[in-house]
Structure 1
Amino acid sequence: MMTCPKPALLCLTRHGETDWNQQGILQGWTDVLLNPLGRRQARAMAGSFNHQGFSAVWSSPLMRARETAEIVAPLIRLSFPKFHNGLMERHFGVFQGVPKAELAEFNPVVLQLILKRNPDGYFEGGESMDEFADRVLGALADIGSAHDGQRVLVITHGWVMDVVTRHIKGLPRKAILNMKRKNGESLWIAVHQGIITATHEPENQVQSAA
């Protein structure tokens, strides 16, 4: 008789800080490196993850996530991270690279969508919420199916974690969460035969202070 595979446990973690995070600039798919604090946060993540028994590290290919993963992986004695395009941040179209201070002047409606992390907001030239959520959940199902019964660290982005939070809480994709994941904050999920659910694993959070 065939045995049913055990679920994969995925620890989704937001990348370390960048200068654009600090300056309030919408990053989206724009590549921005970690700043010195972000690199310290990545090393702190490695310290907190050292005894979690991770089998692999996956990451968004965007540089802020990639750099975080490349710092963490060797410090927890794992090989080079793997990358999945489905873990990338939401594409914000024409608003990528625009400081929030400028949006406050010429497009306060869009600024409010961003500040409230309104998933139903329209970002010209960017992804719709359904396009974004479908690729994120598809990526996590892919990673989970490749790691049945294992623990995996997944370095990704804040709006990605919002998608997953709504999903595991059974909320509509358009629900406003009124929360923002901090750099280095984690969310654990289980993936079993493509089904993504919450787990009771403790959440990790790396402090933003220097």
Structure 2
Amino acid sequence: MLIYLIRHGQTDWNAEGRLQGQKDIGLNALGRRQASENGIRLAEELGESAVDFDFVASPLGRTRETMERVRAAMGLDPDAYRTDPRLIELSFGDWEGSTIPELQRIMPERVEARARQKWDFIPPGKDAESYEILSWRVGAWLTSVERPTVCVSHGGIVRSVFRIVGGWSGDKACDMDVPQDRILKIDRDNGLIGWL
């Protein structure tokens, strides 16, 4: 089962190193360009078979805009996709909107605890999640995929896929770079992962 997973294009908060989580931050100019270029790359990869794929995105605005730009660059109806709430980014709770250096100044012990156990760490605040908790949602979504799929989502979702499909340790999955100008190609059933 092939899945092409795209992280949303860059936002100003990405550029500033701010934890976005579930805050609805829009794409910046670079992010819009990344989305369109990923659409061109995907059109070259899929060709005419693109019409056989399911297209699904996280419901946040930055992922929806990325999907619409990807589809437009592929020559497809920008609005002909669906959303799935299981693909929303993990919640950083009270930390959303802050940078790690800012948090280090006000709660160094919590930042150090996160650095030691990033996969299992739950930030302070209502509805905050760890990557482990997020991976439960992602695993349920992966299991539900019934046909070849193009998905636009978030860095945390990609890290969960590294763990679930790739079999990587939580520490390795958390530390992997998740570029916004590349496409992750996944063979779900055979545990294969590679970048386009």
Fold conserved between structures, TM > 0.5: yes
Flag the 1:189–1:76 CA change in 2: closer, same or farther, 3 A.
Answer: same
- Does structure 2 retain, via aligned residues, the 8 Å contact 1:61–1:85? yes
Task: Find the aligned partners of 2:117 and 2:68 in 1 and give their Cα distance.
Answer: 28
Equivalent of residue 129 in structure 2, options 124, 127, 130: 127
- Does structure 2 retain, via aligned residues, the 8 Å contact 1:57–1:78? no
Task: Find the aligned partners of 1:117 and 1:38 in 2 and give their Cα distance.
Answer: 30
Matched, 1:175 2:171: yes
Task: Find the aligned partners of 2:186 and 2:130 in 1 and give their Cα distance.
Answer: 24
- Could you list the per-position Cα deviations for residues 89-119 of structure 1 after superposition, in whole angstroms to 9, with x for gaps in the alignment? 1111111112333112112344456678821
Matching residue of 2:97: 97
Task: Find the aligned partners of 1:118 and 1:141 in 2 and give their Cα distance.
Answer: 25
Matched, 1:77 2:96: no
Matching residue of 2:25: 32
Matching residue of 2:37: 44
User: Which letter does structure 2 place at the counterpart of 1:73?
Assistant: R
- Does structure 1 retain, via aligned residues, the 8 Å contact 2:18–2:98? yes
SS of aligned partner of 1:89: coil
Task: Find the aligned partners of 2:90 and 2:18 in 1 and give their Cα distance.
Answer: 14
Matching residue of 2:160: 163
Flag the 1:113–1:9 CA change in 2: closer, same or farther, 3 A.
Answer: farther
> Which stretches in structure 2 are left out of the alignment for 5+ residues?
none
Structure 1 residue 42: Cα displacement: 0.8
Structure 1 residue 27: Cα displacement: 0.4
- Does structure 1 retain, via aligned residues, the 8 Å contact 2:119–2:132? no
- Does structure 2 retain, via aligned residues, the 8 Å contact 1:61–1:88? yes
Taking structure 1 as the reference length, what is the TM-score of the superposition? 0.79
- Could you list the per-position Cα deviations for residues 59-81 of structure 1 after superposition, in whole angstroms to 9, with x for gaps in the alignment? 11111111100111122133322
